[in-house]
């Protein structure tokens, strides 16, 4: 999931001062939600099935610091479509299909002047715990998942992927296994969909490790992680 903003339309770099609805920003990934967007979720205008959680410590492109960085706070974003980055609410012909109810980040995004949008990066953002009611029965389940599968130090893993200590390799393999086992059990017991899973638990750990050099395979003897 990207967290970047599109470069200003190069053809209009010097003259653009309004949105021409080209959709480039909508094809860079769905926006993170902010506190001002809470009612959009609470009122069902943006259902949780269209959201994905990016847990604190996951690597994303940071448009303020520049480059790929661990995210400093938990984020909840609108999901992309399929394997693409396009925001799920973007339609090639119609543009934004929730335009009147688009999140704050989309309202503030002016690709020709990114001051406003940069000022809210990782500020006043919504987390799963802001969205869910305090007595939601899934909250203890999320906490249990966080305990079983804490976010590892992705920067260390990325920078040392070809010489990870054997003990850490084993630990990551165990975490991947525990994560998948937990998800399988919870999805079955609570009858969750894949979309629900991405909101409640974020992406599986193995998916986050793959771009850092890990390959995962499954055999009758279990899951193996190779680097
Ligand atoms: S804000 Fe987005 S839709 Fe509007 S011109 Fe810029 S990239 Fe295109
Ligand atoms: S919610 Fe609408 S404006 Fe915002 S990224 Fe998605 S399609 Fe674009």
- Chain segment 69-90, per-residue pLDDT in tens: 999 999 999 999 866 789 999 9
**Cα–Cα distances in Å, from 136 out to 46, 200, 209?**
18, 12, 30
- Does ligand 2 lie within 6 Å of residue 131's CB atom? no
Angstrom distance (rounded) from CA 127 to CA 72: 12
Q: pTM score, two decimals?
A: 0.91
C-alpha Rg value of the chain to the nearest Å: 19
Residue 3 has pLDDT above 60, yes or no: no
- Does ligand 1 lie within 6 Å of residue 113's CB atom? no
Query: pLDDT tier at 65 (50, 70, 90 boundaries)?
Result: confident
**How remote is the CA of residue 213 from the centroid of ligand 1, in Å?**
34
CA dihedral 74, 80, 83, 84 (to 10 degrees): -120
Among the bound ligands, the one closest to the CA of 50: 2
Query: pLDDT tier at 212 (50, 70, 90 boundaries)?
Result: very high
**How remote is the CA of residue 87 from the centroid of ligand 2, in Å?**
6
Question: If you average pLDDT over every residue of the chain, what do you get?
Answer: 92
Query: pLDDT tier at 15 (50, 70, 90 boundaries)?
Result: confident
Angstrom distance (rounded) from CA 77 to CA 70: 16
At residue 220, the pLDDT reads: 85
**How remote is the CA of residue 42 from the centroid of ligand 1, in Å?**
27
Domain positions in the chain:
10-129, 132-226
**CA 192 to mean position of chain CA atoms:** 19
């Amino acid at each position: 999931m990207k967290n970047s903003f599109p470069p200003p339309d190069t053809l209009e770099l010097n003259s653009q001062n309004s949105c021409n609805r080209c959709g480039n920003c909508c094809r860079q990934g769905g926006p993170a939600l902010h506190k001002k967007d809470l009612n959009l979720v609470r009122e069902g205008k943006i259902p949780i099935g269209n959201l994905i959680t990016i847990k604190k410590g996951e690597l994303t492109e940071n448009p303020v610091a520049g480059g790929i960085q661990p995210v400093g706070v938990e984020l909840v974003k609108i999901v992309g479509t399929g394997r693409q980055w396009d925001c799920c609410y973007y339609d090639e012909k119609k543009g934004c299909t929730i335009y009147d109810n688009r999140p704050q980040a989309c309202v503030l995004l002016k690709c020709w002047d990114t001051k406003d949008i940069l000022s809210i990066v990782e500020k006043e953002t919504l987390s799963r715990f802001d969205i869910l009611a305090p007595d939601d029965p899934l909250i203890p389940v999320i906490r249990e998942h966080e305990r079983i599968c804490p976010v590892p130090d992705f920067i260390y893993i990325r920078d040392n992927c070809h010489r990870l200590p054997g003990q850490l390799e084993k630990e990551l393999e165990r975490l991947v296994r525990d994560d998948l086992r937990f998800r399988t059990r919870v999805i079955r017991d609570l009858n969750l969909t894949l979309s629900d899973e991405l909101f409640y638990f974020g992406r599986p750990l193995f998916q986050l490790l793959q771009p850092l050099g890990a390959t995962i395979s499954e055999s009758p003897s279990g899951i193996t992680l190779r680097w």
